[in-house]
Amino acid sequence: MVSRMDPSDSRLNLFRDASGRLIGFSDLVQEISAFIKADDRRSYKVIVGSDSQGISDEFCDFATAIVVHRVGNGGRYFWRRLELPRFYTLRDRILQEVLLSIDIAKEILERLSGIDVQFGFEIHVDVGENGETKTMLQEVLGMVRAYNFEAKTKPQSFVASKVADRYV
């Protein structure tokens, strides 16, 4: 069963930067804004993706990553890891990954709406045309597009399949 996270849950507001430093969500948004403003002549993409893994009979690990890509010139990333009650089907686990990414994406966009710099925005989902998740491809893309986000799938979904995957 897919569950929505409680927005008052303090775990949702804590991320780590690439060096492992723990930061709150407000500080994370300020760092994203400062990174973009530091060279506002460049093109930017803010990308969110999640991945998961069952860790026991009772729990699953979920990692969500946020990448700020300065196109052609590096970037920064942030991540968080949550331990949630086990999901017994792959479908439910993938849907939870997508919901976690959508929730973070909405919050980031709301808080970045006041900055005076243009940037692209994507959600990377850990599904593709091959493998066990191929039957979910259209369902997951529909979820992301319903929120007016651009979706990328494997093999282009590097934030989910490489960055977030590193932390589960």
Going by pLDDT thresholds of 50, 70 and 90, the confidence category of residue 9 is low
List, for residues 77-90, the tens digit of each pLDDT value: 999 999 999 888 99
- Identify the pLDDT of residue 2: 41
What does the pLDDT average to over 146-159?
97
- Residues 149, 53: Cα–Cα separation, whole Å: 25
Report the candidate in 67, 115, 60, 63 with the shortest Cα–Cα distance to residue 85: 60
Going by pLDDT thresholds of 50, 70 and 90, the confidence category of residue 10 is low
Residue 8 has pLDDT above 80, yes or no: no
List, for residues 110-128, the tens digit of each pLDDT value: 999 887 778 999 999 999 9
Going by pLDDT thresholds of 50, 70 and 90, the confidence category of residue 66 is very high
Burial 87-110 (b: 16+ CB within 10 A, else e): beeebebbbbbbbbbbbbbebbbe
- Note the pTM of the prediction, 2 decimals: 0.91
What does the pLDDT average to over 117-144?
95
Tell how strand 75-85 and strand 59-70 pair up.
antiparallel
